[in-house]
Amino acid sequence: MHLYFETERLIVRQYTLNDVDQLFQVMSDVRVHTYTKDRNNPWDERRTEDYVRYMIKRDFKTLDCFHGAVVKKGADQLIGLCGLNPYKENEPEIEFKIGVAYWGKGYATELGKQMIQDAFAATDIKGIYGMAQPENTASRRVLEKIGMKYLGNQIFRNCEDSFYYVANSRH
């Protein structure tokens, strides 16, 4: 199993089939999807298993494009997912979804800072975008705390989103 990166409190690693049940507990909660395209469509067990199988098959090894399981150290508890999705060439989109029980504890900020730092150190990406619905103040605050600058609002995937960006200082 490939380890993507770790923070003080979290490990981000490749998925295994053993993750399906714990990921389902996170992704089946409608509150996790309040500000996403899945707001009326929380994940069921089948979708969760299909996602995990797909990510295992993709076998991501680099931080320029990946999705990983977010696991709380010590507890071996899967608390969410994160990754970098293709968006523009050499400029992926950051994503994280954290289980409701773990909101407000700084995990998303911790993940985002480390993901950006490690992706910039280990890849040639020029920068990373972040998107959040304008009314999603918690996610927008996280994007700002991890060093992203607000670019304005645009239509993205048929919704208005607030766009953020951080450039790789090595470029």
Q: Are 19 and 70 in contact (CB under 8 A)?
A: no
Tens digit of pLDDT for each residue in 35-91? 887 888 889 999 999 999 999 999 999 999 999 999 999 988 999 999 999 999 999
Q: Are 107 and 143 in contact (CB under 8 A)?
A: no
In angstroms, rounded to a whole number, what is the distance separating the alpha carbons of residues 83 and 96? 7
Tens digit of pLDDT for each residue in 123-154? 999 999 999 999 999 999 999 999 999 999 99
Indicate whether 156 pLDDT > 90.
no
84: left (phi over 0), alpha (psi -120 to 50) or beta: beta
**pLDDT confidence of residue 60:** 95
**pLDDT confidence of residue 77:** 95
Give the amino acid at 159: C
- 27: number of CA atoms within 13 Å, CB side? 27
Q: Are 161 and 134 in contact (CB under 8 A)?
A: yes
Give the amino acid at 74: G
Tens digit of pLDDT for each residue in 92-109? 999 999 999 999 999 999
Domain range list for the chain: 3-125
**pLDDT confidence of residue 40:** 81
Q: Are 42 and 32 in contact (CB under 8 A)?
A: yes
**pLDDT confidence of residue 170:** 78
Q: Is the CATH code 3.40.630.30 the one for domain 3-125?
A: yes
In angstroms, rounded to a whole number, what is the distance separating the alpha carbons of residues 122 and 90? 13
**Exposure b/e, 9-25, CB count within 10 A at least 16 = b:** ebbbbbbeeebbebbbb
Indicate whether 171 pLDDT > 80.
no
Residue 121: which residues within 8 A CB-CB, separation 6 or more? none
